[in-house]
Chains A and B, each alone.
Chain A
C-alpha cells in the first residue's frame, strides 16, 4: 500500500507525534511505501495513494486545492489532529477576510478556516492537539491492515488517576496548574479542568501531571450524543453534582470557562454526528 502524509494549515506537531511512534512505524513501512510526505522524504507532489494522513485545516485557496487533489487521488483519508477535525487553534484565530490584490501571487484567504471534511470525505478522525502517537498509528494501521479499530466511549476522567473529593469548592481559579494539589481531582481543588466532557484516549496525560485538561481532543461521545448536551452544560451538571452546589451558581462560575472551552473546536461548535462514528479512541 502507498501511505502518504500531508500538512495543510498545520504546525508540524502531528508529524512530530507520528515520528515518536518509532520502530513500529518503520516496521509498517517494510511492507508499505511512502508515496509523498514533505516532512520525511523529498517528494511532496500529490500522487495516487491508498491512505493519506492529513494534518491541519483549510485556510486558503491553495490548501483547498491540495485537499481536493488529495481527495481525487487517494482511496482513504485520515484527518489527524484537532485542526483537521475541528479547526483547532488557527480556527479560533479567524480574522476578517483580507482582499488579496491580483498579481501579488498569494493564494486568497478563505473567509474562515474550515475543517478537512468540508472538502474531502474522511475515513477516520483522530482528534487531539496533537493526538498521542499510538492513536495516529492505530488509525493508520487499521486502515492499512483492513480491520476496524478498537474504540470505546470514554472521557479524560476515566483515564485519570486523581481522586474526586465530594464537597463544595471554596474558590475557583482559572490558573492551569496551581502548584500544590496532591492526588486529588483538580476540579475538587478549584481548577477548571475539562476532563469530564473531553474525549479520552490520551491517558489523561495533562491532569495526571497536575495541569488542567484544556479539551484538545474535543467533546466526548456523550456530549456529541444529542443537541441537549454541550461541553458547557455538561460541565455545569457534573460540577453541580460532585460539589453539591446549586447549578445556577455553578453556571455563573463556569461562565469564565467559555473562553477556552472551545479553544480547539471553535470552528465547529455544533455537534457533528459523523465524527462520533469514525473516531479512533484509546
Chain B
C-alpha cells in the first residue's frame, strides 16, 4: 500500500517548508512541496517611493539579502537609465562573489553535512586538535549526565560516515566535524570582506540605485584581497576536497543520479565583465529536456519575456494566473480549492526549470566541472544529475570565485579615483519599467519594478526557491523539487533520510509567515522533528 510521508517542517533550511511524498515499494511515486513565503512584501511596496524598494526587499530573506538588494539596484538602474561606472560594477561583483562563497560554505557544512556524517564519532576521538577535544569532552560529559537533549533526533540510516558499520572511518568523520568548526570562521571572513564595502551584513547598505556608496581605496581593496586569499586556500584545500571525498563514498553512488529534477536548467548569469553587462563570468543560458551538451544562449530580455507564473495550486486569486512578472499580481486567496502552497509556479515557456549552482555550471560548461562529472560517470545516458552533483557544483563555484575575486580586486585597485555612482540614479522618471535579473547563490533571481507617477505602481520578485520549490502548474507539471523526489529510494518509510537529502541539496530558502496544509489522510506520518 502506498504510504504518505509528511516532513513538516524540514529543518536546517531557512523558513518553513513542508514536503509530502507518497512511497510505494521503497520508492517515491509522487511528491508535493508546500512553501510559504507570504509576508506581503510585494504588496507593502505598492505606492512607496522607488528608493525604498532596495531597503525593503533585502528583508525578504536574511540569508541572501545581498542578492535581493543587488537585483533591486539593477532593476532601479534599468528603470532610471543608469550607466554603471566600472568601479561600481566591480564592487558589486566582489561583494556578490564573497556572498556566494559564504552562502555555499554555510549550506554545505552547517545545513547539509549532518545528512552524511555521524558527529558522534567524535566521542572516541584520540587526536590533538583543540576544537575536537573540546567537542569530545562535551559529548562524553553529556552522555555521562544522560542529557535529555544530547542525542539529537535524526533519521536512522546505515550510511552515515563514521557510524559503526557505516562507510568511511571515524577519523574521516572527525575531520569533517573539525571542518564544520573551521567553516564558521571562514564564513565569518567572507562576511567581514563584504562589510569592508557594504558596512554590515546581513541587510547591508552599500549598493544603491546608480552605483555603490564606498570608494575603493588602497586600504579597503587590500583588506578585501587579504581575506580572499585566505579563503581561496581553504576553499581549495578543504571544501572542494571534502566534496570529492563524499562524492566517492561507495554507499552514495546512487545519490549521483537520484534526485534529477527533469533536465530543464535556467541561469540568468552573474558577474558582469563589461559595462553593458553583455559578457558575464557566469553566462546566461538554458538547457531543455536534459540536453546538457547543447546549451541555448538566448538574451536576458528574451528569457524575461517567456516567464509566466501559474497560481492554479497556489493561494492566489485566479486573476494572478499565467501573468508575466512585468504585469504580475499578488492577491492572496486563502482556502482556495486545490491550492497547497504560497509559492507561485514560475515557468519558462511553460516548462518548470531548475535554477541554482548545478544549472549555472551546466550552462557554463567550464572544463574543470565537466571533467569532474565525466569522471563520476555522469556524461553517459541517461543524462541525470542528482543530489551530489548539486553539492559539487556549489563547491566548484566557490573554487572558481575564490580564484577570480583577487583578480577583480586588482582591477578595482587600478581604477582607484574613478566614479562609483551615476547621478542619473537620483532622478526618478514619471513612468518607467525596470528589471533586475541576477543569479544569486541559490539561483536565478528577478525583480520587476513598474514606476508610475514617481512611486512604485507594481513590484514583483521571482526568487530562486519559487522556481525550485514551486507547486504544480496549470497543466499539472510538477515543480523541480517535486520531480526530483519522484523515484527516490526510500527503503525505510520511518526514516526518509533521502527525501531530506534531496530537498536540502537545492538549498531551499523560504522566509515564512503562514503555515501550510495538513491533509486529512489515512496513513499520514507526521514528522514534527527533522
Which A residues are within 8 Å of any B CB, using their own CB?
Answer: 2, 7, 9-17, 19-20, 22-23, 26, 29-30, 33-36, 38-45, 47, 59-60, 62, 88-90, 92-95, 98-101, 103-107, 109, 129-130, 132, 173-180, 202, 205-206, 208-212, 214, 216, 259-260, 263
Contact = CB atoms under 8 A, between A and B. Distances in A.
Please list the 6 inter-chain residue pairs (A to B) with the smallest Cβ-Cβ separation, ordered nearest first: A13-B62, A179-B421, A101-B335, A93-B44, A210-B213, A209-B199
A177 B214 CA distance: 9
Contacts of B203: 13, 129-130, 216
B39 interface: yes
Give the interface centre of B197, B512, B515 by most chain A CB atoms within 10 Å: B512
B511 A34 contact: no
Give the interface centre of A2, A43, A62, A211 by most chain B CB atoms within 10 Å: A211
20 contacts: A11-B60, A12-B63, A16-B62, A17-B202, A33-B149, A39-B12, A42-B153, A89-B44, A90-B39, A101-B334, A104-B517, A105-B518, A105-B519, A106-B335, A178-B423, A179-B422, A206-B205, A209-B213, A211-B206, A260-B49
Interface stretch (B181-189, B295-303, B402-410): B181-189
Interface stretch (B51-59, B158-166, B241-249, B431-439): B51-59
Given A39-B12, A45-B529, A178-B421, A11 B149 contact: no
A92 B184 contact: no
Given A39-B12, A205-B195, 5 more contacts: A42-B12, A47-B149, A175-B210, A177-B213, A209-B199
Contacts, number: 221
A33 B142 contact: yes
Contacts of A103: 335
A100 B334 contact: yes
Given A60-B514, A107-B514, A209-B199, A13 B206 contact: no
A179 B149 contact: no
B62 A95 contact: no
A37 to B, nearest CB: 9
A14 B421 CA distance: 30
B206 A209 contact: yes
B200 A132 contact: yes
B2 interface: no
B39 A93 contact: yes
Given A40-B110, A130-B62, A205-B195, A211 B208 contact: yes
B61 interface: yes
B332 interface: yes
B420 A209 contact: no
Contact of A42 (B40, B152, B202, B332): B152
Given A20-B188, A93-B43, A263-B56, A106 B334 contact: yes
A49 B185 CA distance: 27
B268 to A, nearest CB: 22
A106 B15 contact: no
A11 B152 CA distance: 25
Contact of B335 (A22, A104, A208): A104
A129 B56 CA distance: 11
A95 B110 CA distance: 35
Interface of B: 9, 11-12, 14-15, 39-41, 43-44, 48-49, 51-52, 54-56, 59-63, 65, 106, 110, 114, 131, 134, 138, 142, 147-150, 152-154, 181, 184-185, 187-188, 191, 195, 197-203, 205-206, 208-214, 332, 334-335, 419-423, 425-426, 509, 511-519, 528-530
B120 to A, nearest CB: 13
Contact of A214 (B44, B55, B188): B55
Give the interface centre of B134, B208, B332, B422 by most chain A CB atoms within 10 Å: B208
A109 B211 CA distance: 39
Contacts of A209: 197-199, 205-206, 213-214
Contacts of B195: 205
Give the interface centre of B200, B509, B519, B529 by most chain A CB atoms within 10 Å: B200
B40 A90 contact: yes
Contact of A175 (B188, B208, B516): B208
Nearest to B61: A11
A22 to B, nearest CB: 5
A62 B142 CA distance: 33
A45 B213 CA distance: 43
B425 A175 contact: yes
A94 B12 CA distance: 28
Contact of B511 (A12, A23, A173): A12
A16 B517 contact: no
Given A105-B518, A206-B200, A92 B44 contact: yes
A174 B51 contact: yes
B202 A9 contact: no
Given A12-B61, A22-B188, A42-B12, A173 B426 contact: yes
B112 to A, nearest CB: 12
B465 to A, nearest CB: 12
Given A19-B187, A43-B529, A176 B51 contact: yes
Given A19-B187, A263-B52, A176 B205 contact: yes
Nearest to B419: A179
A11 B228 CA distance: 28
B184 A26 contact: yes
Contact of A106 (B65, B208, B517): B517
Contacts of A95: 40, 43, 332
Contact of A259 (B48, B152, B513): B48
Given A59-B39, A176-B54, A211-B208, A15 B515 contact: no
B154 A42 contact: yes
Contacts of A94: 40
A101 to B, nearest CB: 3
Nearest to A209: B199
Give the interface centre of B51, B62, B202, B420 by most chain A CB atoms within 10 Å: B62
A99 B335 CA distance: 9
Contacts of A47: 148-149
A33 B152 CA distance: 12
Contacts of B63: 11-13, 16
A174 B184 CA distance: 38
Contact of B56 (A12, A30, A40, A89): A89
